[in-house]
Amino acid sequence: MCGLPGPCMHGPAVRRMRRTEQHRSYVVCMAKTWVLDTETKGTGAHIAPLTDAGHERSREAELALVQLARPPRPKRPSEPPPKATFRVVDVLSGKLLGEDLDAREAVHELAGLRSALDARVYLRHGENARWRLLSLGDTRRLWALARDGTAST
């Protein structure tokens, strides 16, 4: 405890300084053990002496797990997904070729065009949903179905 060779025979409150032969420095023998107390609130901690009764750190109380009873969830009526409808607009003339079409009718309307770039195809799911412009890749897949009967990936 004191840093000197041999067992420490000093009392708990005795400080003693000795010169060592090798280093010619003073060694302090202290009986108190100091710990960093981090249980303080705020930004800092302080150093406090460790008492004999406090050798074992006081452990924080285990938190109890509480589960509250929930009311049962109401069952949602299983409705079929909303029907997808298409709207096809000719880019060159700006003419509406078809609205509220299913997939087969949209492919049929695209069959009369020269290229997938000649049409804007919109899609919506449900009656009250907004029309969403399909990407060029999706429009090309529909147009490939119209031309060849197969969709290229």
Contact 97, 89 (CB under 8 A): yes
Compute how many other C-beta atoms are within 10 angstroms of the C-beta atom of residue 131.
13
pTM to 2 decimal places: 0.48
Contact 39, 47 (CB under 8 A): no
For the chain (153 residues), the mean pLDDT of every run of 10, in chain order, is 54 47 54 67 68 51 81 86 92 93 92 90 93 94 84 52
CB under 8 Å to 115, separation ≥6 — which residues? 143
d(CA 57, CA 36): 12
pLDDT recorded at residue 26: 53
d(CA 124, CA 143): 18
Of 51, 48, 14, 46, residue with least CA distance to 34 = 48
Contact 60, 43 (CB under 8 A): no
Contact 81, 74 (CB under 8 A): no
pLDDT recorded at residue 64: 80
